[in-house]
Structure 1
Amino acid sequence: MIAINNLTFEIGARALYDEANWHIKPGDKTGLIGANGTGKTTLLKLIVGDYAPTSGTISMAKDIKIGYLNQDLLSYQSDKSILHVAMEAFERQNQLHTEIERLLKRLETDYSDDLIQKLSDKQMEFEALDGYNIEYRAHEILAGLGFSESDQQRQLAEFSGGWRMRVMLARILLQTPDILLLDEPTNHLDLPSIKWLESYLQAFEGAIVIVSHDRYFLDRVVDSIVESKRGKLIQYAGNYSFYLEEKALREEIQGNQYKNQQAKIKQEERLIERFRAKASKAKMVQSRIKALERMEKVEDVEDYNPSVNFRFKFSRQSGRHVVRLEDVSKSYPGVPILEHADAIIEKGDKIALIGANGKGKSTLLRIVANADNNFSGTCETGHNVTQTFFAQHQLEALHLDHEILQELQAFAPKHTETELRSILGCFLFTGDDAFKKIRVLSGGEKSRVALAKALTADANFLVLDEPTNHLDIQSVNILIQALTQFEGTFIVVSHDRYLLDNVANKIWYIEDRKIKEYPGTYQEYEEWQAKRIPKASVEKGGAKPAKTTPKPAPAPKNEDKDRQAKKLNKELEGIEQRINELEKASKAAEALIADESIYTNQAKLSETSLHYDSLKKELVLLQGQWEKLAEEIMMLEG
């Protein structure tokens, strides 16, 4: 289908690709991954012909149809409706429709056989191209990507960049290409739209190449991974999770080969040095020197997974209540968002705010961050709360003439240069990178600078709106580590399910214009929703009993059941009380482990860690008992 052979592409003196090879076969679904700057987007541009290789070839089947989604499409402008823009995908069908309309108009005055035959030919071709269903198909795909019927009639110019990118994606999908090249397709999608796109791509019969930082998306869509690394394209047969396992195995083998080879080289060098001065051994020495020179060197394994090696600190702890929302109502003209909503954020909460676009996530986030005061009700910030707010528009607030280090120094003057450079190192700005001007950075690099700024603020409450946009997988991992170590409180809006799974302990969502809360992880929330939705749909759509059906007489109370339920409820209360005690003890143990006097003393740390582990084990056991008892009580009282 597409064959990349000995591809070399140079930018200045740097070879981005050096004799790289890759063959894309029909039906392949591949994730193209690699650190920022390794040329993923460049490779897609080389495939579509936007760039020319320095040497090597990219050959493809004749008449192959490529659908290419890239961030440059955001510049596309039109005063047409988004339905019309999406339907531009059907170039031949639209042309035929126009010709048919013109011929029908002529038929009002001209009844010649020639004209009738032309019309018949055009209509047959139109039907063969499924022309009568193109509008339905456009409606279907736009709806899947989150556009309502009324939205589809609005002009493209009325929508923000993220929504315009969805229209471009819809247009590309409607072209039914032989191969889809998708550069960060989930960047501007909400979770429902990402799930819809996953299903669509799973059923797509053509080939797909996806550049994405969303590892869950890759796991669900692709069946192979190609890693762009050191100018080569390294292939793995499996999804992203398989890639991680296979790569770890390959690196372990490579690491052992490197150690063995280094040991052999040192042994040979010692031998050469020992006999170099002896004339009788000169031939043997020269032979071994040449053998060393000819030896194909095994490279050491590079660590591409840097860890966050500093702790985020703030000068004062917040009170118990960080933010309290009471009777909050907010609407836009004709669009109610919140109505008499209440919620509370408590110290230590790690909240993921999720839901479809248009439900008010960003609006609620701005209210929480005191960036929107145009609402009724109260949003009260608690005692000693200091917050920082990260949103994509803050990338525009970076000073373009500043160097990266200078930007952080101006924002966080209390930090030393060593501390700031350590933080920048965690966000992949090492060595002289710290002195790059902001204006020369890519979108992803600017995002990392803005995130580093947000996390160096002396804030005990973080408000983060889509922090993973424009980040690669490596940078998302760094952000996860940073948020996991953060000892304050935060609320985050993100479509990256891996991030949410790893950092959140509470889920917020907006339903019926109220703020609802699920007290658990994102994965637990998903499982709960999966059980809840079918039940809700049965209750909503199930047949109602006829009004004439007489009500049965109330059944006599079962005294044994009542007595048993009472006993179980008492047992449940005891378990709840013990769980509360254990949770308090666990928090106290966590605080001790973080205490410098403990973690610098190996004996005390070991003792405290053992105590903490035993508390956690008992807690898990009791939580299991609680769930079992609760189910029994529900059965008895149901």
Structure 2
Amino acid sequence: MLAGFTNVTFEFGARAIIRNATWHIQPGERIGLVGYNGTGKSTILKLLVGEYTATGGVVERGKSVSIGYLHQDLLSAEIEKSILEVAMDAFQKARDIQAELHELEKQLETKGDDADLLDRYSHLLHDFEVAGGYEMEHKAEEILHGLGFDTEVFNKPYQQFSGGWRMRVLLAKMILQAPDILLLDEPTNHLDLPSIEWLEKYLIHYEGSVVIVSHDQYFLNRMVTKIVDVYQQELHQYTGNYEYFVNEKALRIELQQKAYENQQDFIRQQERVVERFKAKASKAAMAQSIIKKLDKLDRIENVELERPNIRMNFAVDKQPGKVICTLKNVSKSYGDLSLLKNASAEISRGDKIALIGANGKGKSTLLRIIAGTEGHEGSREWGHNVVESFYAQHQLESLGLDNNLIEEMQTSRAGKTDLEYRTLLGCFLFGGDDVDKRIKVLSGGEKARVALAKTIVSKANFLMLDEPTNHLDMHSVDLLIESLNKYEGSLIIVSHDRHFLSRTANIYWEIVNGEIREFKGTYEEYVRWKEKLNIEEAARLAKEKEEAGKKQKKEETKAAVQAPQPDKPYVNLNMVKTEYQKQQKQFDKIEAEQAKLKADNDSILADLANPAIYSDQAKLKSLEAELKKVQDALDKVNEQYETAFTKLMELEEQLQNA
């Protein structure tokens, strides 16, 4: 066991997060920590790392066990280093040794004959190698590349990056530290699909244990082999992925419910017997015996699947025409960065489009162009009778921070009464005095629910949804999927949640080389299609490279054949032979001298490697002077060797061409 809980209870004031919970993390486990919003998943991670202290029980952590904890609060840290330096801070020991080496180098510039400094420097070089110092920059660059960073930005300050990119840098650092236990709180929230896929491949082969808090069901299904469910202040453990957990949890609740009902039937039967015979003297003893058995009975608790249910119903008022929106020759650039170039596409009635791809390719920009909130070149035309609603990715862009919930709903201009707005907000779990809260005090998940409520009340027949599942728990995501599948209008979605996309979209758009590439079908079919395209593209590039090489070689051969051949100059063969023999003797002499000097150099270095020599300063200085003399002579002989060798090759070529 690396870490875990034994009968742990933790309370915030009068509210219990967990009671008498036992959970042990074993080496090599990949665990998904799940639960509805507000059940305390992040709190449990903080208990594991010691940020919170348990109210009761024991939180266990092995003395030599290292724990890495990645969470959203880290983003606010003030860091002035470059992103490469931040990632390389994972090698703290090697970085400290490197700093000491630099300091020693400065001292050796003025005290080159100090034996203690030289000895310390030699030992530090060994320690630096053992600590991975020579590999740390390469490894940091490799991880940053995998998480979507280009080489050109490695030396840019960390502070210049947005929260999403900062989270990637911190994730890179955490991965490089390679702790025994890796705790990841919503690691995919700020990652695009290519980066999520890279992270999956990395974590599958990670040698330590991994605990993941995530609302990404697709990610959990591929990543974890065990689920710990925070439910009713208890930790329930399931061996399997998320899909197995969902089915097994429902089965456990069903079995417990049946056991409860059977026990209740038995209790009612026994109570009827007692009621019938307790007044009869001959049966009184039997009745008392039954009563005692019932008192000692281990009662099964009634259980129902408790979960917060958001009631979503996307209504449509008007039926639009056949065409929702047409894009013709749309171009969009930011300075030298070109996102769209003469792109054309059409959205038809009934289309449910997923706009996917890597970050920075222009997905959100294209969505804003369709919504009419982003300037561009080319044309964008609405179809007949289109009523649109735009759910923005960043809630701060679309919500008035000083409005309360009713005031914010009124900005939708749906013409509803305050009572109707209260009823709708109640469907999104805002009851009673919650509607008087200001937007600025709401959590990310609460803001997302308000924005969804505004989208629903609009009765739009065309929805534009930018990351609608961010901050929603998995059950709420499933409810949103169910509602969108019943929705009679058209929609276009930007999302990195593959579970969500695979169950809502029937068309997939990807921006490739500034154009919109379209695929109609399921998500699994899209993935296979894309893999096929990638293979075909790689084969095409390889063939083009091969053909270009053949063409270049052919042209070079043709040019060589067609080039006029110069007349060969007259060569006195006897003179060349004589000079060649003379030069060969000179070269052999230089080569022998070079070998002798190399042997002398190696012998002196061997003497200097003996620690005992440093106690005899006179001998040490003599050896250092002799070493300098030999190395100077060796440098001179090496130059003579190069000159003689070149001359010898020239004479040899003349003999061959004569």
Give CA deviations for 1:164-191 in whole Å, capped at 9, x if unaligned. 1111111111111111000000000000
Hey, what does 1:152 align to over in structure 2? 154
Partners of 1:118 and 1:445 in 2: CA distance: 59
Please tell me whether the aligned partners of residues 398 and 438 of structure 1 are also in contact (alpha carbons under 8 angstroms). Answer: yes
Q: Which residue of 2 aligns with 1:604?
A: none
Q: Deviations over 1:124-171 (max 9, x none)?
A: 000011101111111111111000011222222221111111111111
* Aligned counterparts, 1:166-565, within 5 A: 166-275=168-277, 284-304=286-306, 311-373=313-375, 375-395=376-396, 397-398=398-399, 404=405, 407-408=408-409, 411=412, 414-415=415-416, 423-424=424-425, 427-429=428-430, 438=439, 440-542=441-543, 543-544=546-547, 546-547=550-551
Determine helix, strand or coil for the equivalent of 1:544: helix
Aligned residues of 2:311 and 2:428 also touching (Cα < 8 A): no
Identical amino acids, percent of aligned pairs: 52
Distance 1:276 1:438 in 2: 64
Where structure 1 has 5 or more consecutive residues not aligned to the other structure, the ranges are 550-638
Partner residue, 1:14: 15
The match for 1:41 is: 42
Q: What SS class does the counterpart of residue 153 from structure 1 fall into?
A: coil
1:409 and 1:129 map into 2 onto residues whose CA distance is: 61
Cα distance change of structure 1 residues 170 and 23 upon mapping to structure 2, 3 Å threshold: same
Greater mean alpha carbon deviation, residues 284-293 or residues 450-459: 284-293
Question: TM-score with structure 1 length normalisation?
Answer: 0.81
DSSP 3-state at the match of 2:134? helix
Question: How many Å separate the matches in 1 of 2:348 and 2:130?
Answer: 62
Give the secondary-structure state (helix, strand or coil) at the position aligned to 1:233. strand
Aligned letter for 2:172?
A
In structure 2, how many angstroms separate the alpha carbons of the residues matched to 1:229 and 1:42? 14
Q: Secondary structure at the match of 1:80?
A: coil
What is the CA–CA distance in structure 1 between the aligned matches of 2:514 and 2:72, rounded to whole Å? 33
Q: Is the 8 A contact 1:404 1:436 kept in 2?
A: yes
Q: Where in structure 2 are the equivalents of 1:57-76 lying within 5 Å?
A: 57-76=58-77
- Give the 3-state SS of the residue equivalent to 2:327 in structure 1: strand
- Residue 145 of structure 2 is matched in structure 1 by 143
Secondary structure in structure 1 of the residue aligned to 2:480: helix
Query: Which structure 2 segments of 5+ residues have no match?
Result: 555-658
Conserved in 1, the CA contact under 8 Å of 2:314 and 2:484? no
Q: Does the alignment pair 1:110 with 2:111?
A: yes
1:26 alignment partner AA: P
Indicate conservation of the 8 Å contact 2:463/2:491, yes or no: yes
Deviation readout 1:407-444 (Å, 9 max, x if unpaired): 54664654577865665565455677667665554322
SS at match of 1:108: helix
- Residue 27 of structure 1 is matched in structure 2 by 28
CA contact (8 A) 2:320 2:383 kept: yes
2:362 and 2:418 mapped to 1: Cα distance?
A: 40
Distance in 2 (alpha carbons) for counterparts of 1:102 and 1:523: 57
> In structure 1, the residue corresponding to 2:373 is in which secondary structure?
coil
Whether the 8 Å CA contact 2:90–2:174 is kept in 1: the answer is yes
The 3-state SS of whatever aligns with 1:26 is: coil
Question: Which has the higher Rg, Structure 1 or Structure 2?
Answer: 2
Q: 1:344 to 1:288 in 2, by over 3 A?
A: same
**Cα 1:156/1:41, change in 2 over 3 Å:** same
- Which region of structure 1 is more displaced relative to structure 2, 179-188 or 107-116? 107-116
Report whether the alignment pairs 1:97 with 2:92: no
Relative distance call for 1:11 and 1:309 in structure 2 (3 A) is closer
Q: Secondary structure at the match of 2:265?
A: helix
User: Structure 1 16/310 Cα, relative in aligned 2: closer, same or farther at 3 Å?
Assistant: closer
Indicate how the Cα distance of structure 1 residues 501 and 285 shifts in structure 2: closer, same or farther if over 3 A, else same.
Answer: same
Structure 2 contact 392–398 (Cα < 8 Å) conserved = no
Cα deviation, 1:211-232, whole Å, max 9, x if unaligned, reads: 0111111111111111111111
CA displacement, residues 466-517 of structure 1 (integer Å, 9 cap, x when unaligned): 1111111111111111211111111111010010000001000000111111
Confirm whether residue 55 of structure 1 aligns to residue 56 of structure 2: yes
Inter-partner Cα distance in structure 2 for 1:289 and 1:389: 65
Deviates more, 1:184-193 or 1:394-403: 394-403
How many angstroms does 1:286 deviate by?
A: 4.9
Q: CA deviation at 1:270?
A: 3.5
CA distance in 2, matches of 1:516, 1:273: 77
Question: RMSD value over aligned CA atoms?
Answer: 2.5
One-letter amino acid of the counterpart of residue 547, structure 2: K
**Higher mean C-alpha displacement, 432-441 vs 314-323:** 432-441
CA gap 1:436/1:269 in 2 versus in 1, 3 angstroms: farther
What residue number does 1:121 align with?
Answer: 123
Change (3 A) 1:65 1:459: same
- Report the secondary structure of 2:194's partner residue: helix
Please say if residues 67 and 180 of structure 1, whose CA atoms lie closer than 8 Å, have aligned partners that are also in contact.
yes
Task: Read off the aligned partner of 1:473 and give its amino acid letter.
Answer: M
Deviates more, 1:71-80 or 1:225-234: 71-80
Amino acid at match of 2:261: K
Task: Quote the offset at 1:248 in angstroms.
Answer: 2.9
